[in-house]
Structure 1
């Protein structure tokens, strides 16, 4: 069943609403698909553990770099919910629209990113695309040249966590379009 929410309803939505709610199907847009299930409601211990793991994973990392990595992994995994969330979070953190737009073609638009960001994006792709083989030594070494060992451990953790969130959101069919930047910060932690 598709419901129509106002913009105010979207701003007032809780994480549970975002996972189970419906975006407006007005203005000639296609109807919104319903979520399959709400993991936060049905497996609250797992959800809270994921939130804590996510927070722990980014410690010591630049928040904008983390958002770029989350967006790129979410693009690869076709996770619309996470793309919506992390694009909005990146913009709220001051990220430039052009850098977000160019992210899916970062190899061709390298000049938009720092060498450190490029190393992180390359590592994120390698970890996300494990079905294409192992993370190559040269990819790991490029990342290690830009991140100290603790930062690298956290970066790898952040990549693993976003891939887990992508799999949760895609499987549960979490609905994009209702997220407000920072909405889930500290929620149920």
Structure 2
């Protein structure tokens, strides 16, 4: 394994710990499987190999099987995902690709159909946190 370009944990352990705390607090009410699927989908979009590896293992530990993990990149064409999961993935994609069209009203409305205000807010924070982790991970990791 190649050494990181930046050791973000060692150089700023207080920031790393704070970010880990935000991530844990945000995702708690979502449950581990949904939180990990969202983290994987965002990491796929952002191309963060480190986060994909971490969160795929975590999803497997949370009970996710290979079929759903393999289908996640093309979730729209798969029947393996529930309505709440689809709404979460749609919101995750909109927030990750925010410069494309912002977060369209329809995407947020679809999420509201499946999540109450508290869980929806936790989902938004979980998506924001994994986007931050992806950017730090990509900056700190050596290029492929």
User: Which aligned pairs between 1:24-173 and structure 2 lie closer than 5 A?
Assistant: 33-109=2-78, 111-173=79-141
- RMSD over aligned Cα atoms: 1.2
Task: Give the Å deviation of 1:172.
Answer: 0.2
**TM-score, normalised via structure 2 length:** 0.96
Task: Give the Å deviation of 1:34.
Answer: 3.4
Question: Higher Cα Rg: structure 1 or 2?
Answer: 1
| Structure-2 separation of matches of 1:131 and 1:149 | 24
Task: Give the Å deviation of 1:71.
Answer: 0.2
Count of residue pairs the alignment pairs up? 143
Task: Give the Å deviation of 1:164.
Answer: 0.3
Corresponding residue SS for 1:139: helix
Corresponding residue SS for 1:60: helix
| Structure-2 separation of matches of 1:153 and 1:88 | 25
| Structure-2 separation of matches of 1:98 and 1:58 | 23
Q: Deviations over 1:49-96 (max 9, x none)?
A: 101101111121121011000000000000000000000000111101
| Structure-1 separation of matches of 2:31 and 2:3 | 34
Task: Give the Å deviation of 1:35.
Answer: 1.4
Which stretches of structure 1, 4 residues or more, deviate above 3 A after TM superposition? none
Gaps of 5+ in 1: 1-21, 23-32, 176-189
**TM-score, normalised via structure 1 length:** 0.73
